[in-house]
Chains A and B, each alone.
Chain A
Amino acid sequence: MTESEIAIRVRGVTKTFGEGASAFHALDNVSVDIRKNEFFTLLGPSGCGKTTLLRLIAGFDQPTAGRIELEGQDISHLAPFRRPVNTVFQSYALFPHMTVAQNIGFGLEMQDRPKDEVRETVARMLRLVRMEALADRRTDQISGGQQQRVALARALAPHPKVLLLDEPLSALDYKLRKDMQIELKRLQAETGITFVFVTHDQEEALTMSDRVAVMNQGAILQVGSPREIYDHPVERFVADFIGDTNFIEAELVADESDGAGTARLRLATGHEIATALPEGMRAPRHVTVAVRPEHAAFAAPGEPAALAGRVESIVYFGTDTHYHVELSGGGRFVLRRQNSRDAAEILATGVDVAIRLPRGSVQVLRD
């Protein structure tokens, strides 16, 4: 990534609230680069520090240590109204004493743009979020979804370099949320503005983002595309937080024949699988591996099986079916199979099965 491609650079940022024994480290030495024009998501459970990081970028709070750069310029201690960064608040925070149009024009007005330009931009923004008909309404006379769109238009109107979105969809019902997800992607593509999106909803993060940063306890654990994050989680927390995962204990055995960065994994059953290793990890050692339920498969008779067990329960989900398998060595394994009309064999509970782990289905976790 070259310097000119980076919109926001966070370097060694720590944020501590309170002092002494009661001090709370909301962020602990966080570093991340957010590229221009990307839809970047901060994903994590509540209290993980994602909103704190967003507030530091917006300028509502200041880092205790470290620095934040916007396109190469240090903005760590710049007041919010001096940053070309706008925020869409979780509560929308629309001004109740102004109309929809006045809300949208507020930022431009505060930048002392000419009246004509303000009027023009407001009209364009109203079109962009499809709110032309409600321009003169008061903000408490429109629905939640409409308020959401006004909040978006208001933050986009001054054409900021970066748009920060603090769980903007959490107050909407399911159907509206789905629509707004698509709407947000469209707006991001149309405006070309860098979006930094905060959410605790993993599905939202996976479907909308170009890249996701998974956070927990004030630290960023992994940054990558939704696919990287989902298929190749590097930490137990990431694997557990996003999607369903089977955790299996295994031994790493050194194996030079597969080249550097790979090793053979020996499972409790004695079965061995070739796998890639996280950076800096060396065999031999004990590890935990993650296997996504849909990455595993039932082994046909005679095929080499990695795991064996008995089907304990079967849960039908419409598009797929979940098989809960009691492993013979102890522990449980969930296997997910897509349902198709010509599903050949029908498994029943109590049947003994063998499970195959194809190459690439196994992800070695760092601790």
Chain B
Amino acid sequence: MQGQGDSAAAPARAITAREGKGALVSAARRREVRVSWLLSAPALLVLLCAASGPLLIVLVYSFLTAGDYGGIVWSFSGEGWFKVFLARDIFDDTVSIADAHLTIFWRSVRLSLLTTLICIALGFPTAWFIATRSRESRNIWLFLITIPFWTNLLIRTFAIMEVIRSEGIVNSVLLAAGVIRQPIQIMYTDFAILLGMAYVYLPLMVLPLYAAMERLDFRLIEAAYDLYASRRRVLRRIVVPLVRPGLIAGSILVFIPSLGAYVTPRVLGGGKNMMLGNLIELQFGQGRNWPLGAALSLTLLLIVMVALIFYVRIVQKEAASRE
């Protein structure tokens, strides 16, 4: 009898125990969630204050009215965005496309693409050279590549100016050698900007390319040589496809900062050959049109995002073709 009664009561006890345990578990779970939010607070704070917050301010400003002496007036206006692409004639109010802005957009994109191409052309052999040195000397070469990073960008840009200006090193040498009679105008041209940006951003191409090449299995190259591939074909069919991730990463690292470059076009391009970065600065400074500046900043961001989406698509397509 005793045993029977026990066995009948046991399930009921078990149920209450489970419920109590369940409540305990959910309380523990809630505490766990609280703690995990607390622990991620610093990261969230940084993301909010340094990333999405400022971006949100820029977005809001782009839809406000420009103040007379800079700053903004808190009333909604589409004028900022309107002026990014369109211009209104001050006399008869006819609307036309903002040629000046489009020219600057186009120059920015074109110079950034060219900078990327120059960096690939110079960076690929450089990275290859470093990757094929002995393990010890590689670090020395990498060290040399990164040295310019330690110098202020402005100083480096002025150094380039010293080289290419009319009384600069290049012209002096060419004049003295009798190659030219008059100094060549290099400063304040697109070429000068290109030269400066390629110089400044080259390490950003070399480093990811080197990382990809260092991981490259050189036995694959031997295997391709063995299978009747000439040097050029080995490069095209084996090396380039295998270091492609590094090539794409380097291109993005060069293209994006080139697009928003400010110092280099300002110093080497002068006031005439503006790029997007200079145009934006102009709106916040002399232009006193903060909403337009904000809208231009977001336009730059959009161009970058389009470029990145383009990149992600390529990567995804490659990943898909591998499956």
- State the A residues within 8 Å of B (CB): 58-60, 79-81, 85-87, 89, 91, 93-97, 106-107, 110-111, 138, 154-155, 158
Interface membership of B184, Cβ < 8 A: no
11 further A-B contacts with Cβ under 8 Å, apart from A81-B225, A95-B224, A95-B238, are A59-B225, A60-B225, A60-B226, A80-B225, A81-B230, A89-B219, A95-B223, A106-B229, A110-B228, A110-B233, A111-B228
Q: A81: which B residues are within 8 A, CB to CB? A: 225-230
Min CB distance, A101 to chain B, in Å? 14
Which residues of B in the span 59-93 have a Cβ within 8 Å of any Cβ on A?
none
Asked whether, in the complex, the Cβ of A158 is within 8 Å of the Cβ of B222, the reply is no
Q: A89: which B residues are within 8 A, CB to CB? A: 219, 222-223
B contact patch SS: helix
Q: C-beta contact mask, B211-252 vs A, less than 8 Å → 1, else 0?
A: 000000101101111111110010001100110000000000
Q: A79: which B residues are within 8 A, CB to CB? A: 225
Closest residue of A by beta carbon distance from B242: A97
Interface membership of B322, Cβ < 8 A: yes
Complex-state Cα separation, A341 to B127, whole angstroms: 70
Asked whether, in the complex, the Cβ of A138 is within 8 Å of the Cβ of B322, the reply is yes
Asked whether, in the complex, the Cβ of B238 is within 8 Å of the Cβ of A107, the reply is no
Complex-state Cα separation, A192 to B216, whole angstroms: 35
Given the known interface contacts A93-B217, A95-B238, the answer about A107 and B227 at a Cβ–Cβ threshold of 8 Å is yes
Complex-state Cα separation, A223 to B48, whole angstroms: 76
Q: A85: which B residues are within 8 A, CB to CB? A: 226
Q: How large is the interface on B (under 10, 10 to 19, 20 to 34, 35 or more residues)?
A: 10 to 19
Given the known interface contacts A89-B219, A91-B219, the answer about A97 and B227 at a Cβ–Cβ threshold of 8 Å is no
Q: B238: which A residues are within 8 A, CB to CB? A: 95
Which 7 A-B residue pairings sit nearest by Cβ, starting from the closest? A107-B227, A93-B223, A110-B228, A80-B225, A93-B219, A110-B229, A81-B228
Q: List 22 A-B contacts (CB under 8 A).
A: A60-B222, A60-B225, A60-B226, A79-B225, A80-B226, A81-B228, A81-B229, A86-B226, A86-B227, A87-B223, A89-B222, A89-B223, A93-B217, A95-B220, A95-B223, A97-B241, A106-B227, A106-B229, A106-B237, A110-B227, A110-B230, A111-B228
Complex-state Cα separation, A133 to B227, whole angstroms: 24
Q: C-beta contact mask, B20-52 vs A, less than 8 Å → 1, else 0?
A: 000000000000000000000000000000000
- State the B residues within 8 Å of A (CB): 217, 219-220, 222-230, 233, 237-238, 241-242, 322
Complex-state Cα separation, A182 to B322, whole angstroms: 33
Min CB distance, A107 to chain B, in Å? 4
Q: A95: which B residues are within 8 A, CB to CB? A: 220, 223-224, 238
Complex-state Cα separation, A213 to B219, whole angstroms: 26
Min CB distance, A23 to chain B, in Å? 17
> Given B226, B237, B242, which contacts A96 in the complex, CB threshold below 8 Å?
B242
Complex-state Cα separation, A89 to B220, whole angstroms: 10
Q: A138: which B residues are within 8 A, CB to CB? A: 322
Given the known interface contacts A60-B222, A110-B233, the answer about A158 and B241 at a Cβ–Cβ threshold of 8 Å is no
Complex-state Cα separation, A96 to B244, whole angstroms: 13
Complex-state Cα separation, A111 to B227, whole angstroms: 8
Q: A60: which B residues are within 8 A, CB to CB? A: 222, 225-226
Max chain A C-beta neighbours (<10 A), residue from B220, B223, B241, B242: B223
Q: B230: which A residues are within 8 A, CB to CB? A: 81, 110
Min CB distance, B223 to chain A, in Å? 4
> Given A91, A96, A154, which contacts B227 in the complex, CB threshold below 8 Å?
A154
Complex-state Cα separation, A91 to B217, whole angstroms: 10
Complex-state Cα separation, A91 to B228, whole angstroms: 19
Q: A59: which B residues are within 8 A, CB to CB? A: 225-226
Given the known interface contacts A58-B226, A86-B226, A158-B228, the answer about A93 and B220 at a Cβ–Cβ threshold of 8 Å is yes
Closest residue of A by beta carbon distance from B221: A93
Asked whether, in the complex, the Cβ of B227 is within 8 Å of the Cβ of A158, the reply is yes
Q: B241: which A residues are within 8 A, CB to CB? A: 97
Min CB distance, A164 to chain B, in Å? 9
Min CB distance, A259 to chain B, in Å? 51
Closest residue of A by beta carbon distance from B233: A110
Complex-state Cα separation, A158 to B228, whole angstroms: 9
Complex-state Cα separation, A245 to B169, whole angstroms: 78
Min CB distance, A18 to chain B, in Å? 13
Complex-state Cα separation, A59 to B230, whole angstroms: 13
Closest residue of A by beta carbon distance from B222: A60
Complex-state Cα separation, A25 to B230, whole angstroms: 30
Asked whether, in the complex, the Cβ of A93 is within 8 Å of the Cβ of B222, the reply is yes
Q: B217: which A residues are within 8 A, CB to CB? A: 91, 93
Min CB distance, A279 to chain B, in Å? 38
Complex-state Cα separation, A44 to B228, whole angstroms: 29
Complex-state Cα separation, A233 to B276, whole angstroms: 81
Q: B225: which A residues are within 8 A, CB to CB? A: 59-60, 79-81
Min CB distance, B314 to chain A, in Å? 14
Complex-state Cα separation, A91 to B218, whole angstroms: 11
Complex-state Cα separation, A241 to B230, whole angstroms: 41
> Given B222, B224, B322, which contacts A106 in the complex, CB threshold below 8 Å?
B224
Q: A107: which B residues are within 8 A, CB to CB? A: 227-228
Q: B322: which A residues are within 8 A, CB to CB? A: 138
Complex-state Cα separation, A86 to B217, whole angstroms: 19
Complex-state Cα separation, A110 to B223, whole angstroms: 12
Min CB distance, B293 to chain A, in Å? 45
Q: B219: which A residues are within 8 A, CB to CB? A: 89, 91, 93
Complex-state Cα separation, A91 to B220, whole angstroms: 10
